[in-house]
Amino acid sequence: MSEIKVILAIESSCDETAAAVVKEGRTVLGSAVSSQIEIHRRYGGVVPEIASRNHTLAIENVVKEAMEKASVTPDDIDAIAVTYGAGLLGALLVGVNFAKGLAFAWKKPLYAISHIKGHIASNYIDSTLTPPYLCMLASGGHTAVVHVKNYTDIELVASSRDDAAGEAFDKVARVLGLPYPGGPEIEKLALEGKPSINMPAPKFKRGEAPYFSYSGLKTFVINYVHNLTQKGKEIPRADVACSFQKAAIDQMVTVTGIALEKTGLKKVSIAGGVSANKHLRESFEKFSERGVEVHYPKLQYCTDNASMIGAAAYFMIEEGLAPTPLDLDAKATVPLK
Which string of x and - marks every residue 22-61 that binds ligand KG4 (by CB under 6 A)? ----------------------------------------
Please count the residues of this chain forming the interface with ligand KG4, following the rule CB under 6 A.
19
- Residue numbers at the binding site for Zn ion (CB under 5 A): 139, 304
In angstroms, give the least distance from the CB of 244 to Zn ion: 21
Q: Please, which residue, 23 or 304, has the CB nearer to ligand KG4?
A: 304
Nearest to 273 by CA among 126, 173, 154, 156: 173
Q: Please, which residue, 100 or 142, has the CB nearer to ligand KG4?
A: 142
Asked whether 45 and 77 are in contact (CB, 8 A), the reply is: no
Nearest to 182 by CA among 48, 15, 37: 37
234 SS3 class:
coil
Nearest to 309 by CA among 15, 21, 43, 109: 21
In angstroms, give the least distance from the CB of 326 to Zn ion: 25
Q: Please, which residue, 141 or 193, has the CB nearer to Zn ion?
A: 141
Q: Please state, in angstroms and rounded to a whole number, the distance separating the CA atoms of residues 162 and 215.
A: 6
Helices 278-285, 237-263: axis angle to 10 degrees equals: 40
Residue 184 touches which of Zn ion, ligand KG4, none (CB < 5 to 8 A by kind)? Answer: ligand KG4
Task: Return the beta strands (E) in the chain as ranges.
Answer: 6-11, 16-23, 27-35, 79-85, 110-114, 133-138, 143-148, 154-159, 267-271, 293-295
Q: Please state, in angstroms and rounded to a whole number, the distance separating the CA atoms of residues 50 and 38.
A: 12
Q: At residue 237, what is the residue type?
A: R
> From the list 303, 312, 315, 317, which residue makes contact with ligand KG4 (rule: CB under 6 A)?
303
Residue 182 touches which of ligand KG4, Zn ion, none (CB < 5 to 8 A by kind)? Answer: ligand KG4
In angstroms, give the least distance from the CB of 86 to ligand KG4: 8
In angstroms, give the least distance from the CB of 289 to Zn ion: 30
| Residue 187 is a binding residue for ligand KG4 (CB under 6 A) | yes
| Residue 11 is a binding residue for ligand KG4 (CB under 6 A) | no
Which residues does residue 131 pair with via DSSP β-bridges, in sequence order?
Answer: none
Name the percent of the chain in helix, strand, coil, to the closest 5. Answer: 45, 20, 35
Judged by CB under 6 A, the chain residues 101 through 130 that form the site for ligand KG4 are none
| Residue 210 is a binding residue for ligand KG4 (CB under 6 A) | no
Q: Please state, in angstroms and rounded to a whole number, the distance separating the CA atoms of residues 221 and 29.
A: 43
Q: Please state, in angstroms and rounded to a whole number, the distance separating the CA atoms of residues 45 and 57.
A: 20
Which residues does residue 34 pair with via DSSP β-bridges, in sequence order?
Answer: 17
Q: Please, which residue, 185 or 304, has the CB nearer to Zn ion?
A: 304
Judged by CB under 6 A, the chain residues 153 through 182 that form the site for ligand KG4 are 166, 169-170, 181-182
Residue 257 touches which of Zn ion, ligand KG4, none (CB < 5 to 8 A by kind)? Answer: none
Q: Please, which residue, 139 or 307, has the CB nearer to Zn ion?
A: 139
In angstroms, give the least distance from the CB of 241 to ligand KG4: 11
| Residue 140 is a binding residue for ligand KG4 (CB under 6 A) | yes
Q: Please, which residue, 38 or 289, has the CB nearer to ligand KG4?
A: 38
Which residues does residue 28 pair with via DSSP β-bridges, in sequence order?
Answer: 22
> From the list 109, 132, 179, 184, which residue makes contact with ligand KG4 (rule: CB under 6 A)?
184
In angstroms, give the least distance from the CB of 91 to ligand KG4: 11
Nearest to 139 by CA among 277, 243, 45, 7: 277
Residues that bind ligand KG4 (CB under 6 A): 14, 139-141, 166, 169-170, 181-184, 187, 272-274, 276-277, 303-304
